[in-house]
Amino acid sequence: MAYEQLGTGATAVGLKIGNVVVLGSEKRFGYGGFVMSRSAKKVFKIHDRIAIAAAGIFADMITISRIMSTEIRYYEMSSGTRISVRGAAKLLSAILYSYKYTPFITELIVGGVDEEGAHIYVMDPLGSVIEDEYAAVGTGAPIAIGVIETEYPSLVPRKTQDDKESVEDAVNLVVKAIRAAAARDTMSGDGIDIAIVRSNGIEERTYPIR
């Protein structure tokens, strides 16, 4: 990806279990081989039941989150209806594609809960949209996805549940995947931000990287 050539990066992970989505990302902001900040927030709440986890250029992540928050509010005010997670993903896809000649250098995981249940969408800088049950993006993604793919099947028997124990197991898996990536990816580290998205709101947490 282009952000690897620029010396920026991140590790962001998302998965769903039952009617809950868990998104996470580490907090390191690196550029050109230097650590610029150890407290960068890369998980953004853009709606009361939709969030984004991002990897790439930090300024682009923030800009996208602000654009989406504004566009979703405008859509809901003008239409009088609540936006679906798929609708938010398609809206973001159109925005990203409109910048195809000067793209935002970022990969995104859009996760949320609506009347149809929990959804995870993975997006590239040009707005391609893929729905999945779990995903990892960023420079640490190859390591993180290995952890997710190994342990997510153990959650499958309970993937239709959203009880407290199942959700905590999903959170622990996201944290474990990001920690594994940070141990091998120099562009990832310094803490983990988590967003737990439910139909009644978003819970945010922070974990140490170790």
Q: In this predicted structure, what is the pLDDT of residue 178?
A: 94
- DSSP H or E segment with residue 163: none
Q: What is the pTM of this model?
A: 0.90
Residues 76 and 68: their CA atoms lie apart, in Å, by 12
Q: What is the pLDDT of residues 138-185, one digit of tens each?
A: 888 999 999 999 999 888 665 555 678 889 999 999 999 999 998 887
Q: In this predicted structure, what is the pLDDT of residue 160?
A: 57
| Single-letter code of the amino acid located at 51 | A
Strands 129-132 and 43-47: what pairing?
A: unpaired
What single string gives the DSSP state of each residue in 30-74? Answer: EETTEEEES----EEEEETTEEEEEEE-HHHHHHHHHHHHHHHHH
Q: What is the pLDDT of residues 104-139, one digit of tens each?
A: 999 999 999 999 999 999 999 999 999 999 999 988
Q: What is the pLDDT of residues 14-70, one digit of tens each?
A: 999 989 999 999 988 766 666 767 778 999 999 999 999 998 888 899 999 999 999
Q: In this predicted structure, what is the pLDDT of residue 27?
A: 87
Q: In this predicted structure, what is the pLDDT of residue 180?
A: 92
Residue 81 bears catalytic tag? no
Q: Can you tell me whether residue 126 is helix, strand or coil?
A: coil
Q: In this predicted structure, what is the pLDDT of residue 155?
A: 80
Contact between 145 and 11 (Cβ < 8 Å): no
Q: Which of 11, 81, 102, 186 is catalytic?
A: 11
176 — phi, psi (to 5°)? Answer: -60, -40
Residues 110 and 123: their CA atoms lie apart, in Å, by 8
For residue 2, name the pLDDT band (cuts at 50, 70, 90).
very low
pLDDT beyond 60 at 3: no
Residues 194 and 27: their CA atoms lie apart, in Å, by 11
Contact between 27 and 193 (Cβ < 8 Å): yes
Q: What mean pLDDT is predicted for residues 84-112?
A: 95
* Domain 2-207 top-level CATH class: alpha beta
- How remote is the C-alpha of 117 from its chain's centroid? 17
**Residue partners of 134: CB distance under 8 A and separation at least 6:** 13, 14, 15, 16, 120, 148, 149, 152
